[in-house]
Structure 1
Amino acid sequence: MSSLRCHVFVSALLFISIVPFSQQVLNEHNQKLEWIVGKWRSEFSGKIFWPTVPTMTFGEELVINEAPIAKSANVQFLNFSARAWSHSTKDHFHDEWGFLTVDPVGNATLMTTGNNGFTTYETGTVSPNKLVLTLKDIGRISFSRDLPVEDLRRTFIRHDDRYMEQVIEMRTATHPKVGYLEHTRVVYTKLK
């Protein structure tokens, strides 16, 4: 991803974070994601797995809410934010902000940027209570200490009215050679 596109995306995120919006009604395409909209939180059910790091537990808050239609593009995105922390030490792990939408033929797109130095563009399919996204493009700052991510699959599954799960699987430059390895799994409770 070019540095110009990253700069524009980050600038838009900063604008979104400081300008309050009124709650909007989901358009006909984004109604397919109505089940994911809300504030979700896990205090300690998140698990990190990776061959080069110790397995650990984390908490995370995920907020997905309606946003106004961008008149310049006539597209409605959902605002997406995630904040994760260590369960044991309460140290901050990372933040992730972005936008989620569904196009007229039912394809979902999630664009995120995080304070870990990554910007991602993911696409996939949405079905009742399930969203599966795969990486299409990734940008990263030059001095990131993480191994280069080569592929990623993110799955959201809503189990019932109270619980939703997110699983992130990925492949880096060193693990695995093909396919994906599970990196994180977290079960959220929906907050009122």
Structure 2
Amino acid sequence: MFCYRCKGQIYGFYTFLTLEICFQVLNEHNQKLEWIVGKWRSEFSGKIFWPTVPTMTFGEELVINEAPIAKSANVQFLNFSARAWSHSTKDHFHDEWGFLTVDPVGNATLMTTGNNGFTTYETGTVSPNKLVLTLKDIGRISFSRDLPVEDLRRTFIRHDDRYMEQVIEMRTATHPKVGYLEHTRVVYTKLK
């Protein structure tokens, strides 16, 4: 795993940038997520389904990469970011930022916050080429207009070296009464 660091030096009116390449190693627990690390993008394969909204197509870019170890806790997280937009109008849908990690027992944790007014804490299991997370806690801004999400399941499946799929299923205050309904499905292509 590698990362880039950019350093700048100012000489008079000119700034010279140097690019430093450093190699990062995922710890033994996060190595279970090595298959999900990278930049993934879908231009138009994302689909939104929900009983109260029209079915829509969207694009999304997902970036999962190494983050510096939190020295205070000695925990290695992966940075997680997702940005979605309407395929037809190019309007911005939402952003999510967060952190993903695997604990010594093999349980995965994803914490996210988004510009849609939600903060989530999800836990689950990771297996080769599959990560399934369920909602443990959710926070929401008081004036959000969305229906309260009561439960959520997020599944990532890597189909091969180029393609990965994410499915989000959920339950709100009104739909369904029990279980989950599929809300979004997107197939990404891994970017180099």
- Same fold, TM-score > 0.5, yes or no: yes
1:172 — aligned with what?
172
Q: 1:171 to 1:140 in 2, by over 3 A?
A: same
Greater fraction of residues in helix? 1
1:81 — aligned with what?
81
1:187 — aligned with what?
187
For residues 62 and 54 of structure 2, what CA distance do their matches in structure 1 show?
A: 24
1:90 — aligned with what?
90
2:158 — aligned with what?
158
Q: Larger Rg: 1 or 2?
A: 2
2:35 counterpart SS class: helix
Query: What is the identity percentage for the equivalent residue pairs of Structure 1 and Structure 2?
Result: 98
Structure 2 stretches lacking a partner, 5+ long: 1-20
User: Cα deviation per residue 1:11-67 (whole Å; 9 max; x = unaligned)?
Assistant: xxxxxxxxxx96521000000000000000000000000000000000000000011
For residues 161 and 44 of structure 2, what CA distance do their matches in structure 1 show?
A: 20
Structure 1 residue identity aligned to 2:115: N
Does the CA-based 8 Å contact 1:23-1:66 persist in structure 2? no
1:142 — aligned with what?
142
2:13 — aligned with what?
none
For residues 115 and 22 of structure 2, what CA distance do their matches in structure 1 show?
A: 27
For residues 80 and 68 of structure 1, what CA distance do their matches in structure 2 show?
A: 13
For residues 43 and 57 of structure 2, what CA distance do their matches in structure 1 show?
A: 9
Aligned length: 172
TM-score normalised per structure 2: 0.88
| CA-CA distance at 1:95 after TM superposition | 0.2
User: Cα deviation per residue 1:68-103 (whole Å; 9 max; x = unaligned)?
Assistant: 111000000000000000000000000000000000
Q: 1:22 to 1:84 in 2, by over 3 A?
A: farther
The answer to whether structure 1 residue 57 and structure 2 residue 42 are counterparts is no
Alignment RMSD: 1.0
Does the CA-based 8 Å contact 1:24-1:67 persist in structure 2? no
1:30 — aligned with what?
30
For residues 103 and 70 of structure 1, what CA distance do their matches in structure 2 show?
A: 14
1:116 counterpart SS class: coil
Q: 1:110 to 1:35 in 2, by over 3 A?
A: same
Structure 1 stretches lacking a partner, 5+ long: 1-20
2:44 — aligned with what?
44
For residues 89 and 121 of structure 1, what CA distance do their matches in structure 2 show?
A: 31
For residues 23 and 94 of structure 2, what CA distance do their matches in structure 1 show?
A: 27
1:34 counterpart SS class: helix
For residues 24 and 181 of structure 1, what CA distance do their matches in structure 2 show?
A: 39
The runs of 4+ residues in structure 1 deviating greater than 2 Å are 21-24
Greater fraction of residues in strand? 2
1:145 counterpart SS class: coil
2:147 counterpart SS class: coil
TM-score normalised per structure 1: 0.88
The answer to whether structure 1 residue 124 and structure 2 residue 134 are counterparts is no
The answer to whether structure 1 residue 102 and structure 2 residue 79 are counterparts is no
